[in-house]
Structure formats: structure tokens, C-alpha cells
Amino acid sequence: MYCAMFCRRYRVSKKIRDEEDKKKLQEALSIIYKWADDNLMVFNKDKFEQLTYGETENVTITSYKNPSNEDIRNSETVKDLGIITNKSMTFKEHIQSTVLACKRISGMILRTFTTRDPEIMLKLFSTYIRSRIEYCCCIWSPNLQYEIDELERLQKTFTSKIEGMEEKDYHERLKLLNLYSLERRRERYLVIYAWQMIEGIKENVLKLQSTNGRIRAIWSKPIRWSFRGKKIKHSSRSIVHNSTAKRMERLFNCLPPYIRNIKGKTVDTFKRTLDKWLQTIPDLPKIDNYGARVAAEDNSLINQAAVAR
């Protein structure tokens, strides 16, 4: 079990295995409280939150103390650096919050600006809406189809308001406006970030290893599909399968060898080579009543690249 304490921009977390670990976590909190007192700082006790996640077998959930010696409330969700996380280790609430915020911004833009000029509209979309959608998307990028569709609908709806695009379907609008679908953009970011970690440009926090042009996510412990003779439930297996590390592994390994084997080049060189290849891969997000047009199982880069081969 893991336990994390949040207060505004401050966060303290620790893996809890026994009672001793609980004491150490409370001691760490006490050290921070003393540091705040020494520097004449005051924490707002109402903003303390506790998030517990992971296996809780043989470990009871404990309430920790805030600077006023009151119990820190145990929350279902917390917001950490702009990302809403829950105890199930999914980002459902963050995606819902992002969609609602972007709908409000989109409505404000369409009411405020009378012009529907493509250049101006795309600039407004990328500045005020897409930037919010893609903030830290490598961490929370959805894997459930209904969440992917919900996010994609933001771009689909906005581009339908652009002058000359009203009568065209979403696939045509993407081509005419020279846009990627939002799903394809998120997958592109994951591929680029994976390459940067392999090349040492970014810290390899996911412990990716490269062998013969293919990468593999290395886990600190072997993945076990059973625990003490009991099978781990399907949802736990899905968390591993759809984790950022495993998705990076699958996406990067679906690239052609001449892209995977780029070494010692700049990020811009890798991006140009990747984008040139992506232009040859169909980008056909789901459209209502147009399912027959999509040859692949879905619009993921992995499936579309397999069909394009």
C-alpha cells in the first residue's frame, strides 16, 4: 500500500508495509511542520489531503495528523500539479474535468469571436483548448475508448465551426486543416518521450531498456498474475497493461526499424523523421455512422500501422 499526503504544492509519500512505516511517514510530516514553524510559515490545515492506493492486505488505513494535531482527511481524489488522481490509479476525474473546462472555453471563444477564419480559429484552439487537453498527457492519456472519443469530440466539434468546414466530415476536416487527431498527437508525444529517455536526453524514470532497436519496460519486481494462490483481478492486470511504460513500449516497437534505430541525433531530427512516416499512416478517428471506413480495429497507431504494412 502507498500513502501520499498533499497540501497545495507539497507532497509526501511512502510505501506502507507495516506499523513502522506509518510512524516514519508521520515523523516526516512532523519534520516539515517544524521547518515551516522555523521559517514563520503557516500551513492551511483545511487543505491537507491523504490518498491511499495499492494493495491494502494486512495493512490498516491510518489517519495522520496535520500541524493542528487533527486527522488528515482521506480523499478519493487529489489534485497534484494540475493532475487529478484517484485511489484506483486512473485519471477518470481528470479527463472529465478537462472536457468540461474545454467545453466552457470553446463556448466562450465562439461567442466572443465572430470570425470563423481557419487560421484564426486554429490559433485560438491550439492556444486555449488543445494546450489544456495535452497538459501532462503522457501521464494520464486514456486507454478506454469512450474517454478517447470524449476528448476527440472537443476538436471534432470546434473544427466544424470553421468557415468552409461545416458540411465536411471529421476525416476530411483533419486533412484539409493539416491536423492530427488528438489521439494520434498523444501517441506521438509518448513515442518522442520514450526516445528521449532511451537517448539520455530525459531521465529514464520508467526504466526503459533498448535492445536491437526495440524497447522494453523493466519493472522493479516481476509482474505476477497471482498472489498467495489467488488470481489478481482483471482490473489490476489492466492497470499494468495500460500503464505509461507498457504503452510506450508497444507504441515505440510498432515503428519501422529506421526510426527506432535513430541514435545520437537531435530531437528535431527524430521528430521530422517520425512525422514523415506518420503522414503515411491513416488517421481515422471514430465518426458516428462511419465505422465501415475504418479498416483497423480502432484508430490507435499500433493497429493503423499494422494495417498499413
- For residues 284 and 258, state if they share a domain: yes
Residues 212, 272, single domain; the answer is yes
Per-residue pLDDT reduced to its tens digit, 41-97? 888 888 888 888 776 555 566 778 888 888 888 888 888 888 998 888 789 999 999
Three cell numbers at 276? 514523415
The stretch 272-293 carries a mean pLDDT of 80
Model confidence band, residue 219 (pLDDT cutoffs 50, 70, 90): low
201, 271: one domain: yes
Task: Provide the pairing of β-strand 10-15 with 2-7.
Answer: antiparallel
pLDDT interval class at 16 (50, 70, 90): confident
Helices first, then strands: H and E counts in the chain: 13, 9
Residues 151 and 112 in one domain: yes
Q: Are residues 140 and 60 in the same domain?
A: no
Q: Which tops the pLDDT comparison, 235 or 269?
A: 269
Q: Beta 83-86 vs 77-80: how paired, if at all?
A: antiparallel
**Is-contact 48 5, C-beta < 8 A?**
yes
Supply the pLDDT for residue 55.
67
Do 193 and 271 have their domain in common? Answer: yes
48 CB-contact burial (10 Å; exposed 0-12 / middle 13-18 / buried 19+): buried
Q: Are residues 168 and 205 in the same domain?
A: no
Q: Pick from 179, 207, 230: which residue ends a domain? A: 179
Do 145 and 45 sit in the same domain of this protein?
no
pLDDT of residue 276 exceeding 70, the answer is: yes
Of 179, 202, 235, the last residue of a domain is 179
Report whether pLDDT(241) > 80. no
Q: Which residue has the higher pLDDT, 42 or 128?
A: 128
What pLDDT, on the 0 to 100 scale, is given for residue 60?
A: 66
**Among residues 117, 6, 110, which one has the least CA distance to residue 64?**
6
Domain-embedded: residue 85:
no
Total domains in the chain come to 3
Angle at 160 between CA 158 and CA 162, to 5 degrees: 85
Q: Indicate the range of 63-72, 122-131, 151-160, 182-191 predicted with least confidence.
A: 63-72
| Of 179, 196, 215, the domain-final residue | 179
Q: Which residues contact 69 (CB under 8 A, 6 or more apart)?
A: none
Q: 237 falls in which pLDDT band (50, 70, 90)? A: low
Cβ neighbours around 233 below 10 Å, total: 8
Count of all residues that appear for the chain in the document: 309
Range of the domain at 117: 92-179
